[in-house]
Structure 1
Amino acid sequence: MQALHFGAGNIGRGFIGKLLSDAGVHVTFADVNQQIIDDIAKRHEYPVNVVGEQSTTEIVKNVDAINSTSSEVIDHIAKVDLLTTAVGPQILARIAAIVAQGIIARHKQGNAKPLNIIACENMVKGTHHFKQEIFKTLPVELHEWVNTHIGFVDSAVDRIVPPATSKTGDILEVTVETFSEWIVDETQFIGKIPHIKGMEPVDNLMAFIERKLFTLNTGHAITAYLGFYHNIATIRDAILDERIRLIVRGAMEESGLVLIKRYNFDDQKHIAYIEKILSRFENPYLQDDTARVGRQPIRKLGANDRLIKPLLGTFEYQVQNTNLLIGIAAALNYRNDGDEQAVELADLIANKGVKAAFTEISGIENNNIIVQKVEELYTAMQNRQFV
């Protein structure tokens, strides 16, 4: 089995690429970083440090790499069995056109074997979004053929892969946590679902997407924003601060009530899941910066993302949201000159005021009572009156 994977960064190499290679799949990485491409193409392997109580270094083999802007990408798409991505939500639209060209080539060559495409991104229904971008540049007359021969499979991915500098100077070395979760929608595959250890097909994907989004992503973001606010550099140090920990756990419990009511989750099992997430944030072997995790605050304050979507759920099920609101106010206070969206957010608040900026970004109506609460919390933080 052959796969083309867009994105040879830390997540691509340390998570999806590793799982595919471990399952015996030949993986070709597509990326724009020529140094990484050349090293993978020369060595056909790279080390992954899996860190936790039982840390190991594993060698990922059976890999190759090409430049994602080259015509080789089109040739690969015409013949591979699986196409995956780990490029970031904003990049999907940029690579859609060349993927469409590869699909056109596949059709011209008469390759009727199933091809399944899985966008492994931190976003809800990322593959559905990717499909929409691909279809924009596909001829209309090919749409029916594509829907028959190509599966667009949504997924939920979960593994903390922080930036890490190799002690040996190896550009390909990557460090990951022991925990990983890759859940895919089994109803969206075309043809036989490939057996890949670590990839779990389910028929109720949205429940798992929201469980991860409302718990790991929500907690991670709030930890980052409160940590950054308190001048704490790392996620581990932030979550070990009892002030922050109480708010983060409280926010995950509030979003958890939404999940329990919406999907009939077992409440005790979900509390255990929250505790597992908190312990992952504490992992002493992972050095992840609050500044990195907090980046792109405008996206993270969007209606379908990790802060506002669970908040909307608290309206729907009439459950408490005090800690979620603190996390949202902390996100609005995120001031990082090294992050383009943080600068844009600060400018928007300066020009329009926090209430108008918040409602514009989140889509929440201005007359909603929580808008006033967010403004009050934001102002208290601005005035350093928030403990």
Structure 2
Amino acid sequence: MKAVHFGAGNIGRGFIGLLLSNAGYEVTFVARNERKIQLLQQQKQYSVTLANEARDTEIVNNVTAISGKNKAAVAAAIATADMVTTAVGVSALKQIAESIAAGVELRLSGHNLRPLHIIACENAISGSSLLKRRVYEHLPAEWHEKADSCIAFPDTAVDRIVPVQEHDDPLKVTVEPYFEWIVDRSSMIEGYREIDGIKYVDSLEPYIERKLFTVNTGHCTAAYHGYLEGYDTIQEAMGDTKIKAEISGVLGETGKLLTSKYHWDKKKHEKYIQKMMVRFTNPRLSDHVVRVGRSPIRKLSLNDRLVRPALQAHRLGIPIPYLTSAIAAALLFDYDQDEEAVLLQAAIRRSGIHDVIASYMGIPQKHAIHQKIVDSYGALKESYAIAR
């Protein structure tokens, strides 16, 4: 079995590539980093260490790599693959779509009609569906019907904390012990081979929102409040009782939303919340607040981890003071090494906070929570004496 994975970063190697290799796939990474490409081609293996007390280490075998610039090689790999996965960031899907389309066209023109599943393992709702639209934009129309018959793009939810890290060995990666990879089996082609470590479900949305509204919402709340307090890492921020209370408050609000919307057992969901809080405090990982808080424009968008649960909770009549505070903290994330943070602060200075909330978050000024966000933003700004 052959798998092609776009992205040889820490998530690609420490999570997706690891599970695929363990399932018996030969994994070909499509990468940009020439040093990593060369090492993967030469060594055909790398090590993954768990951030647990024993520091358990596993060798990942049967791997290689090709350069994303070598479009002919990428297309050839996809033409014979049994699975294609990505971990490049949702904004980069459009950059790899043309290469995937070329591989699909080569596959179909060579009469390879074996089932192929293409799964975008990104922090996004309906990431694979988005990738399909991007791919079909580059795939000639005459191939669309045939592609629909043998190629599927099942959506997925993935969860594993893998911070930025440096090792003497560029391929070595350290990951947290916990992981979750859930795939929508209702979108898969019959007869697919299940992979150990993946959970297949008929309805993905509850799992996506549980992860997005708990892990991602809680994590970025720690990052944005931690940044305002001057902490360097999430682990340091989690040691601050005030920040920990903010995170607990946020997850209490999203928890009420999720248990109401999906009729879940409240005690079970509370256990899930506490498990996630423990993950954030893992002393064997050092995760920088600026990494977790990066790309605030994306994280403040209408369907992402802050605004989406805030709007849904509001519609259900759930008070959201902690969510509005987290949104306000994100609006104050002014890290000058983050392109989106710089753009966001420039927009606030140029157009004002009301316009930014309306244009970047999709919350019009007449909406009930618009002013709540403005008030929370003003209070936080004054509290931290941030001059704008």
TM-score normalised over the length of structure 1: 0.98
Letter in 2 for 1:23: A
Letter in 2 for 1:102: G
Matched ranges for 1:116-265 at <5 A: 116-166=117-167, 169-265=168-264
Q: Please give the alpha-carbon distance, in whole angstroms, between the structure 1 residues aligned to 2:125 and 2:345.
A: 26
Q: Is the CA contact 1:255–1:313 (under 8 Å) kept in the aligned structure 2?
A: no
Partner of 2:331: 332
Partner of 1:314: 313
Q: Please give the alpha-carbon distance, in whole angstroms, between the structure 1 residues aligned to 2:141 and 2:368.
A: 46
Partner of 2:108: 107
Q: Is the CA contact 2:238–2:281 (under 8 Å) kept in the aligned structure 1?
A: yes
Residue 271, structure 1, aligned to residue 270, structure 2: yes
Partner of 1:356: 355
Q: Is the CA contact 2:46–2:172 (under 8 Å) kept in the aligned structure 1?
A: yes
SS in 2 for 1:175: strand
Partner of 1:343: 342
Q: Is the CA contact 2:4–2:29 (under 8 Å) kept in the aligned structure 1?
A: yes
- Cα offsets for 1:172-199 (capped at 9, x unmatched): 0111000000000001112322221111
Which deviates further from its counterpart, 200-209 or 366-375? 366-375
Q: Please give the alpha-carbon distance, in whole angstroms, between the structure 2 residues aligned to 1:316 and 1:380.
A: 24
Deviation at 1:72, TM superposition (A): 0.5
Partner of 1:88: 89
Q: Please give the alpha-carbon distance, in whole angstroms, between the structure 2 residues aligned to 1:188 and 1:43.
A: 36
Deviation at 1:268, TM superposition (A): 0.5
Q: Please give the alpha-carbon distance, in whole angstroms, between the structure 1 residues aligned to 2:81 and 2:69.
A: 17
Q: Is the CA contact 2:228–2:384 (under 8 Å) kept in the aligned structure 1?
A: no
Letter in 1 for 2:127: G
Partner of 2:58: 58
Deviation at 1:222, TM superposition (A): 0.6
SS in 1 for 2:30: strand
- Cα offsets for 1:323-349 (capped at 9, x unmatched): 001100000000100000000000000
SS in 2 for 1:117: strand
SS in 2 for 1:178: coil
Partner of 1:22: 22
Q: Please give the alpha-carbon distance, in whole angstroms, between the structure 2 residues aligned to 1:188 and 1:229.
A: 42
Q: Is the CA contact 2:29–2:66 (under 8 Å) kept in the aligned structure 1?
A: yes
Q: Is the CA contact 2:158–2:182 (under 8 Å) kept in the aligned structure 1?
A: yes
Unmatched segments (≥5 aa) in structure 2: none
Percent identical: 43
SS in 2 for 1:190: coil
Which deviates further from its counterpart, 8-17 or 370-379? 370-379
- Cα offsets for 1:74-115 (capped at 9, x unmatched): 001111000000000111000001110110000110001000
Partner of 1:303: 302
SS in 1 for 2:134: helix
Unmatched segments (≥5 aa) in structure 1: none
Q: Please give the alpha-carbon distance, in whole angstroms, between the structure 2 residues aligned to 1:54 and 1:262.
A: 40
Which deviates further from its counterpart, 235-244 or 372-381? 372-381
Partner of 2:42: 42
SS in 1 for 2:330: helix
Q: Please give the alpha-carbon distance, in whole angstroms, between the structure 2 residues aligned to 1:353 and 1:261.
A: 35
Q: Please give the alpha-carbon distance, in whole angstroms, between the structure 2 residues aligned to 1:151 and 1:47.
A: 31
Q: Please give the alpha-carbon distance, in whole angstroms, between the structure 2 residues aligned to 1:382 and 1:345.
A: 15
Q: Is the CA contact 1:186–1:193 (under 8 Å) kept in the aligned structure 2?
A: no
Deviation at 1:385, TM superposition (A): 5.3
TM-score normalised over the length of structure 2: 0.97
- Aligned residue pairs: how many? 384
Q: Is the CA contact 1:93–1:133 (under 8 Å) kept in the aligned structure 2?
A: yes
Q: Please give the alpha-carbon distance, in whole angstroms, between the structure 2 residues aligned to 1:104 and 1:373.
A: 51
SS in 2 for 1:252: helix
Q: Is the CA contact 1:301–1:328 (under 8 Å) kept in the aligned structure 2?
A: yes
CA-based RMSD of the aligned residues comes to: 1.0
